[in-house]
Structure 1
Amino acid sequence: MHRSYRQTSVSAASTAALIATLAAYSGAHASGDAVKLLEQSGACIGCDLAGEDLSGRRLMAADLSGADLRDANLRGAILFRANLSAADLRGAKLEGASLGRANLSSANLSGIAWQRAKLAHATLIDADLRNSDLREAMLEHADLSGANLSRSNLEGARLRHTTLDNTHLHEARLKEADLRQLDLRPVASMTRVDLGGARLDKADLSGVDLSESKLDTAQINDANLSGTRLVAASLRAAELRKSNLSDANLDNADLRNAVLQSVKLQGATLNSTKLDQITLSGNLIGMDFSNSNLRRANLQGANLKDARFTNADLRQANLSACNLYNADFSGADLRSANFTRANLREAKFDNADLTDARFDDAKGAPQHVAD
């Protein structure tokens, strides 16, 4: 979902109007009477409310655009549909505050500590949320287009149906966050993100750069990761069932104990990728696993026709019932590997170590083994 013209953060006309309003209010509401004005009119545009105690107040649809709310106490405040665009909320205390459908476009929330934030359907276009603590935040249907969440803590946050066009998530913590079915292609940056244990089922991450990110134990089933950069990423024990990883770059990635069942890997690169104890199946025709560590890997039933395993470590690997027609195992370490019922016709085993390898009912087993 890409950002439309009418969703731009602040139009030229609205910006001019806001500046004019701020000029009219400056000085007149720079003291305690700002709170009275807010109570009486429901609006305090550009007011100085820094450090004020507004806890528990019902401020639904209040207009606080451009207000200085630094260090203000807004605990438990009801700000449903409030206008806080361009407001400065640094250091504000917002625990238990409700800002559903609020407008926080261009607001400064950097460094804010706001666990369990209620921001469903809120507008946060171009908001500054760097280094903020938004653990377990409710952000469903929120618009975070252009927002900067770099190095923010979003552990356990709920982000389903959230708009993330041109959003900055560099080094953000999204452990156990809910990002199911999200289109993450328009995100501006996601490098070095911590997505450990996150739910990314059916998410579209095609072409996204997740280099050096952590996705250990993440649920990424039926997801689109075609062309995704996962260079040096950690996906230990992650689940990627029925996911599309075609043309993905997995060089130096850690996939130990990961589950990749019925996946697409055509065109993916796996140079120096850690694959030991991986569960891998699907259409893997022509894949190049040369020099890979596949020790104790479970490849049972995979279609590995024309695959290359030259100099790979496949000790104790399970290759039973695999289609390995014309596969190349030259120089591979196949000690105690299981080739039971595998199709090995035209397969090459030059200089491979086949000590204790099993070939029960295999078709086309190496001649010296068959004898």
Structure 2
Amino acid sequence: MSADAPTAQEYKRLTQHDLDIICAKHDRLWSAKLGGARAVFTFCDLSGLSLTGRNLCDADFTGAMMVGCDLRKTKLDNANLYGADLQGADLTDASLRRADLRGSSLRGANLTGADMFEADLREGAIAAADRKEGYKVIELTQREAYAIGANLSGANLERSRLSGIVATKADFSDAILKDAKLIRANLKQANFNGANLAGADLSGANLAGADLRNTVLVGAKTMSWNVSQTNMEGALTDKPAGTNVADLPYEQMIADHARWIETGGAEGKPSVFDKADLRNLRSVRGFNLTALSAKGAVFYGLDMEGVQMQGAQLEGADLRACNLRRADLRGARLKGAKLAGSDLRDAQMGPLLITADRVLPCDMTGAILANADFARADLRQARMAGADLSRANFTGAQMRDVDVTGAIRLGARGLDDVI
């Protein structure tokens, strides 16, 4: 072997005590206190240790061995994890915004609900400081970023860079991948069920055998992608889903319905929007659309703030990524509807008074409410049996007599007191 040949990297093994001391100094640095120092774990072995809940923003983990580490709710924003081995690590609800994960291994890691906004997961070469050459490559070959079998369910990967990543059989279900770069990524047999890939670049990506059911692919670049044997049932693309807005005067119909409601039927007329694609409306902010029928309609991404839709028939409707802040949905029928990622803060979703002794509850039975924000919403008597409430936010919401029988509650906030 020549003198210039790369040698195997030696790792410095740290104990939990060592780790705690370094983290304490990093905390002092962030708090602008004396004795602070940036946490540097370059080529250290932290395998099996706990960093849960720590603030390690801007820390350096270059080439670190972190197999099986407990990183739940750890703050790793802008951290350097270049070439780090995170196999089997638990990063549930961790924050990795703009983190450098190039060449890292996430094989079998749990990143459920992690925030990886603008994170960089491209391939990279491992290098070490060298007095003569500055940085000297230790490994002769480019290291691909590996996320084989990783669980990224519900993770925020918006605008992240994953070009060339190997993530076969990884779980991206309900993940946010808006404007992500996935050029030539190996995503064979990966699960993207319910993921939002709006504006993502999937050029040359290998998605053979992947699950793309109910994904959002609006504005996605798909040139030369491989989707052989890929299940795309229910995927939302740029093509009209249902009756195109160009085929019917939807804007006039919406206005007529609102006028009919406001005048008590004296002017305008009621309209039916079942299975209509209403995306091109862009906004119905503040409209009075009480008792509207829009079963199976697509509202994706619409601005619906303050809209009045009391008693509306919205069974199976697609309301993902909609702005429904302060919307009045009392008594609305949303059975089987898709509301993933929607903003429902301060929305009224309690019972609708029909007569003195009869009320109509808001029915969200079997609805997909993953990552939806219900903060401070009125959900009294709402029916959410069998609904998917994964990572939804119910902080400050009124939840008296809510039915969540059989609902999926993984990572949901504000449901601790709801049986």
The two structures have a TM-score, normalised by structure 1, of 0.52
Are residue 50 (structure 1) and residue 47 (structure 2) matched? yes
Q: Choose the corresponding residue for 2:79, options 77, 82, 95.
A: 82
User: 2:207 & 2:48 partners in 1: Cα distance?
Assistant: 35
Q: Choose the corresponding residue for 1:174, options 192, 197, 210.
A: 192
Are residue 135 (structure 1) and residue 153 (structure 2) matched? yes
Q: What do residues 299-346 of structure 1 show as CA deviations (whole Å, max 9, x unaligned)?
A: xxxxxxxxxxxxxxxxxxxxxxxxxxxxxxxxxxxxxxxxxxxxxxxx
1:218 corresponds to which residue? 235
**8 A contact 1:142–1:163 mirrored in 2:** yes
**8 A contact 1:183–1:203 mirrored in 2:** yes
Aligned length, in residue pairs? 210
Unaligned runs of 5+ residues in structure 2 are 26-36, 124-144, 246-274, 278-419
**8 A contact 1:56–1:74 mirrored in 2:** yes
Q: How far is 1:193 from its partner?
A: 1.3
User: 2:67 & 2:111 partners in 1: Cα distance?
Assistant: 14
User: 1:141 & 1:44 partners in 2: Cα distance?
Assistant: 27
Q: How far is 1:68 from its partner?
A: 1.2
1:148 corresponds to which residue? 166
**How large is the RMSD of aligned CA atoms in angstroms?**
2.8
**8 A contact 1:38–1:44 mirrored in 2:** no
**8 A contact 1:221–1:241 mirrored in 2:** no
5 Å-filtered alignment, 1:259-274, equals none
Q: How far is 1:54 from its partner?
A: 1.0
5 Å-filtered alignment, 1:200-349, equals 200-222=217-239
User: 1:182 & 1:209 partners in 2: Cα distance?
Assistant: 15
CA distance 1:186–1:207, change in 2 (3 Å):
closer
Q: How far is 1:39 from its partner?
A: 4.3
2:178 corresponds to which residue? 160
Q: Choose the corresponding residue for 2:62, options 58, 65, 70.
A: 65
Q: Flag the structure with larger Rg.
A: 1
Q: How far is 1:207 from its partner?
A: 3.3
**8 A contact 1:110–1:132 mirrored in 2:** yes
User: 1:104 & 1:63 partners in 2: Cα distance?
Assistant: 11
Matching residue's letter, 1:113:
N
Q: How far is 1:221 from its partner?
A: 2.5
5 Å-filtered alignment, 1:4-43, equals 26-27=11-12, 29-32=13-16, 34-35=18-19, 36-37=21-22, 39-40=24-25, 41=37, 42-43=39-40
**8 A contact 2:183–2:201 mirrored in 1:** no
**8 A contact 2:196–2:216 mirrored in 1:** yes
The percentage of aligned residue pairs carrying the same residue is 28
**8 A contact 1:22–1:45 mirrored in 2:** no
Q: Choose the corresponding residue for 2:214, options 192, 197, 212.
A: 197
**8 A contact 2:204–2:223 mirrored in 1:** no
Q: How far is 1:22 from its partner?
A: 5.6
2:101 corresponds to which residue? 104
Q: Choose the corresponding residue for 1:185, options 180, 203, 206.
A: 203
Matching residue's letter, 1:80:
D
